[in-house]
Every structure is written in structure tokens, then in C-alpha cells.
Amino acid sequence: MDVLTSEQRRQNMQAIRAKDTGIEKTIRRIVWRLGYRYRLNSKSVIGRPDLAFISRRKAIFVHGCFWHRHPGCRLTTTPKTNPEKWQKKFTANIARDTLVQQKLQEAGWKSLVIWECEIKDRAALTERLQAFLSES
Ligand SMILES: [Zn+2]
């Protein structure tokens, strides 16, 4: 049984989105400190990545584990209300993500997905970002 009203549910979803934004900011800060400059949500790049490095042809996507369905992650829950509706939404998200990755690759771009839960280990995250950005 669902214990949340639709208003509470809406507020929860907003909180999740706000959290996503916090992750993006953290990633931006790390990348900036590493000395890389980027374009934010550039419409000229396939899939409008969170961070785009145009001349390097590299893109970073910051994915919330819930919305983008991080496999095996404890944040990848499914709401009890309208599971079919949610499943449909999730399936569409995954299909879109996969298509974007594929199209970027075809266009000669490299892309990196950072998951929300990876933010906990700042050192490992910084290392991953550095490795991705420095590789030619
Ligand atoms: Zn996760």
C-alpha cells in the first residue's frame, strides 16, 4: 500500500532532482580543478551531455541512479504505486541513454557516465575523471 500522497510524492521527486544537481556541481568542481574547461548542457552535442569537451570530443553524463537505473545499485528502487507506469518511464530512459551513447560513439566521441552513488568516494571519482579526460 502506498503511504505517500501525490503531493508528497511530487516533493520527493523534486528532492531527488535537486540531489542530482548537487552531484553535477561536484563533478564540475573536480573537473575544473583538474584544469579542464567544458561546455555545460551544450545543445550542439548529441544527447546534450552535462559536460562537453568539444575539441577533445569527450562527453560526461551525470546520471541519477534512480532515473537512469544504475544496475545493481541500492538507489535503483521502484515506487510501489503504478509500477507499470514507472517501468515504462525507466525503459524509455534506458533506451534513450543507450541511443545517445551509440550515436556519440558513431560520431567519434568518447563518453563517460558518472553515477550518483560514485560521489561518495571522491578520490576514486577524481581518478576516474582524470583518466578519462587525459586519455587521447
Ligand atoms: Zn548507483
Residue 76 CA, ligand 1 centroid: distance in Å: 7
Residue 75 CA, ligand 1 centroid: distance in Å: 6
In a domain, 19, yes or no: yes
Residue 91 CA, ligand 1 centroid: distance in Å: 17
> Residues 74, 76, 82, 83: what is their CA dihedral angle, to the nearest 10 degrees?
-90
In a domain, 113, yes or no: yes
In a domain, 89, yes or no: yes
In a domain, 23, yes or no: yes
The pLDDT score that the predictor gives to residue 7 is 75
The pLDDT score that the predictor gives to residue 16 is 59
Residue 15 CA, ligand 1 centroid: distance in Å: 17
The one-digit pLDDT tens for each residue of the chain (136 residues) are 556 677 777 776 666 565 556 888 999 999 999 999 999 999 999 999 999 999 999 999 999 999 999 999 999 999 999 999 999 999 999 999 999 999 999 999 999 999 999 999 999 999 999 999 999 8
Report the mean per-residue pLDDT for the chain: 90
In a domain, 1, yes or no: no
Residues lining ligand 1 (ion), CB within 5 A?
65, 70, 73, 75, 115, 117
In a domain, 97, yes or no: yes
DSSP β-bridge partners for residue 60: 51, 112
List the strands of the sheet with 51-53, edge to edge.
Answer: 39-40, 51-53, 58-63, 110-115
In a domain, 49, yes or no: yes
Residue 134 CA, ligand 1 centroid: distance in Å: 25
Residue 115 CA, ligand 1 centroid: distance in Å: 5
Task: Name the amino acid, one letter, at 37.
Answer: R
Structural domain that includes position 60: 6-134
In a domain, 39, yes or no: yes
The number of domains in the chain is 1
CATH code for the domain of 12:
3.40.960.10
What Cα–Cα distance (Å) separates residue 98 from each residue in 81, 95, 117? 26, 5, 20
